[in-house]
Amino acid sequence: MLHAAPDHDYFNYLTKKLHVGNEVARCALAITQAVRLRLAGHAFAQSDSEVLAASVKHRTTIFSIGHPIPIDTAVVMPGSLYGKRSGHWQNLRVRCGLRNHRVRVIEFSRPHKLRVASGARAPLPAPRYFVATANGWM
């Protein structure tokens, strides 16, 4: 997709120093690129321990029912996003969908928490999707 020298160094750091799999490294790299290109004014932070805590699921056919993009690998990892409007950090759950070793879609959503049924609360906002194309991120 999009490649630059610092991104290549980050990919090598993840695969050679941290010994994470190619899927996780590609996903972490695509997340930083998507935030840099699509979320101007926001900042995304992901510690090494969060990258190491990523879970990989193989043999997945579609990304989600609401967003049926064909994928064969799904990577889920935590992260934090600094919102320019809110002015504070939010914990996020980031899902990446890969097909043929290329990141096809990224989903940013809040982590699911158990809710106690004590009154009505506002529903969580819909997750934000970024779809990878040949020209970059949509």
Distances (CA, A) of 18 to 15, 49, 93, 119: 6, 9, 21, 45
pTM tops 0.85, yes or no: no
Domain coordinates in residue numbering, the chain: 5-112+123-137
Q: How far apart are CA 70 and CA 94, in angstroms?
A: 18
Flag the least confident range among 49-58, 81-90, 101-110, 118-127.
118-127
pLDDT of amino acid 18:
92
**Would you tell me how many other CB atoms lie within 10 Å of the CB of residue 84?**
10
**Helix or strand or coil: residue 33?**
helix
